[in-house]
Amino acid sequence: MPTDGAPAIMGCMATTTISTPAPKPSPRKRLQADRNGVLVAAGIMAGIGWALLYRLVDGSPPLALQRWLFFILLYMAITGTALPFIWYLNQRFSRRYPVTGGTLLRQGMWCGLFTVTAAWLQMTRALNGPTAFLLALSMIAIETFLRYRERAQAQAYSESIARQKHS
């Protein structure tokens, strides 16, 4: 055992490995993985939703519990079914500001909410053309304002990154 501490410290340092952090994936790759995860979940939601909805409608009396289950399963099935179409539309028309998986899910949930609300109104015989149009228009307006906010935040973020690079 050495009397001064230097050789012992050097021995410790020689056995210690310095690990470098793993490189972070690019934002584009993270967004792609996020969207792929949402699409896989959409397929599972749609498959389970439609299968259970078929079993419910095919073999259950229309009691209160079954009606609630009908609306829940319809919401799940429509949301899962709409997501691939919404993904395609966003892929086609929103190239400058790519959407996240959360945005895709929210837009699919708007489709499910519209369908369930329309089914509920039809059950009470209160659904007509103007009511459905105003319901759809209000949901589209809310989603448009939410997308404007997301785009403004994304643009402000990219401008701040550009300012940091130039500094």
pLDDT digits (tens, 9 = 90+) for 29-74: 666 778 888 999 999 999 999 999 999 999 889 899 999 999 999 9
**pLDDT at residue number 153:** 87
Residue 19 domain-assigned?
Answer: no
Q: Is residue 109, in this structure, part of any structural domain at all?
A: yes
Count CB neighbours of 44 within 10 A. 12
Q: Count, in order, helices (H) and strands (E) of the chain.
A: 5, 0
Summarised one tens digit per residue, pLDDT across range 144-158 is: 999 999 888 888 887
The answer to whether position 50 is within a domain reads yes
Nearest to 99 by CA among 156, 47, 149, 165: 149
The range of the structural domain enclosing residue 102 comes to 26-162
Inside any domain, residue 157? yes
Tell me which residue of 35, 29, 115 sits closest to 74, measured CA to CA: 115
0.85 surpassed by pTM: no
Per the CB < 8 A criterion, the answer to whether 74 and 53 are in contact is yes
CA distances from 37 to 40, 41, 95 (A): 5, 6, 19
> Model confidence over 3-18: pLDDT tens digits?
555 555 445 445 555 5
pLDDT in tens, 95-130: 777 788 889 999 999 999 999 999 999 999 999 999
Identify the pLDDT of residue 17.
Answer: 54
- Domain assignment of residue 18, yes or no: no
| Averaged pLDDT, 126-140 | 96
Higher pLDDT pick, 73 / 167: 73
In total, how many domains does the chain have? 1
Up-side HSE of residue 67: CA atoms within 13 Å toward CB?
A: 7
For residue 6, the model assigns a pLDDT of: 53
